[in-house]
Structure 1
């Protein structure tokens, strides 16, 4: 496998975000990557779709929390329960938690009855917020798969927790874990979690 190891303390939470390969090359201190990764929503709001008031309360989706091991443009791989590595020749276009927030917002907008507001908007007394944590969002060398686990926390405008649930999805990597094989499974796993969260919001959000 083509990655550099980076051990971290036992008990640290490993996270990663998922991706779809974009051809390109940028210089970010040192040798530029051969590819950039981003997320491509499976469900998208079509151009020209009216955005009238929804039947459910408004929703603000915030960036999830993420541990430092994945809050980076480098693409991490879990190698053992207590160590991680980084895939060579590839980087995220943005940090995974920003990419995943936008994937959630697009998926919820396209598939649910919720009006998704910009994070900078305040909403009204019925508006809810979706926060949470990426518990596992990346590659697992032990199972040769992409793994995404998200702990969703739905709160009202005052911060009181309305509902909480954990979602997870895995996708096998076809071949070795390297720049050209990781984009599609990461993207698929992220989209599965996003779709499950959107369906849950339709029930939990009222």
Structure 2
């Protein structure tokens, strides 16, 4: 009986501790938000490329307000709040870079590589800064502003920089409506970026 005593004591102790210990934060009241590329390559499509024709899409840098999974709301010139109960499934730079990469691949036919894949042959490298990715409360719009930097080939001294901006109307600041409007604006930017990169 003695060797079973620790097990008998462990069960009540675990039950007591379960009320004190919490793993992870509380889930949001609404589902996590995500982005979906309107244009994607079809399952089973095989892409081949000559050296230098691939595109590497890096995660864009972001200002502090976007270094979170929350959705910023700009009010006036200097005030920033966040959409209540809205949370991205992962950081905006990752979501945006993946959407842009999918769109480039679908529209141009050029294989798009991640940073690790690009060690073999980076081709053109697309980076930049995602400056705005949220809501403009003054105009009731979702806003995406991306300052893109494109380096073609191995010569990093030759590059192009261009600002892309898109807005989508927003009837009400609710998580699901904000996500849909930002998805629309992000896809518009991605199409313009893809056409620019594909030239």
- State the TM-score, normalizing by the size of structure 2: 0.81
Residue segments in structure 1 that go unaligned for 5+ positions in a row: 1-26
Cα-to-partner distance string for 1:16-36 (whole Å, 9 max, x where unaligned): xxxxxxxxxxx9534633121
2:54 aligned partner: 58
Question: Going by fraction, where is helix more abundant, 1 or 2?
Answer: 2
Alignment partners' CA distance in 2, 1:28 and 1:140: 31
Corresponding residue pairs, total? 175
Question: CA 1:60/1:132 → structure 2, altered by over 3 Å: closer, same or farther?
Answer: same
Cα-to-partner distance string for 1:146-184 (whole Å, 9 max, x where unaligned): 01111110114353242111111100002x212232121
Residue segments in structure 2 that go unaligned for 5+ positions in a row: 1-22
Q: 1:184 aligns with which of 171, 180, 186?
A: 180
Question: CA 1:79/1:54 → structure 2, altered by over 3 Å: closer, same or farther?
Answer: farther
Q: 1:151 aligns with which of 125, 147, 151?
A: 147
Kindly report the root-mean-square deviation, in angstroms, between the aligned alpha carbons of the 2 structures: 1.9
Contact 1:117 1:123 in 2 (8 A): no
Question: Going by fraction, where is strand more abundant, 1 or 2?
Answer: 1
SS at match of 1:92: coil
1:141 aligned partner: 137
Alignment partners' CA distance in 2, 1:181 and 1:28: 27
Q: Which has the higher contact order (CA 8 A, sep 6+)?
A: 1
Q: 1:164 aligns with which of 135, 149, 161?
A: 161
Q: 2:170 aligns with which of 165, 169, 173?
A: 173
Correspondence 1:11-26 to 2 at 5 A? none
Cα distance, 1:108 vs structure 2? 0.5
Contact 2:72 2:133 in 1 (8 A): no
Alignment partners' CA distance in 2, 1:161 and 1:77: 36
Question: CA 1:49/1:90 → structure 2, altered by over 3 Å: closer, same or farther?
Answer: same
Contact 1:55 1:114 in 2 (8 A): no
Q: 2:31 aligns with which of 19, 22, 35?
A: 35
- State the TM-score, normalizing by the size of structure 1: 0.79
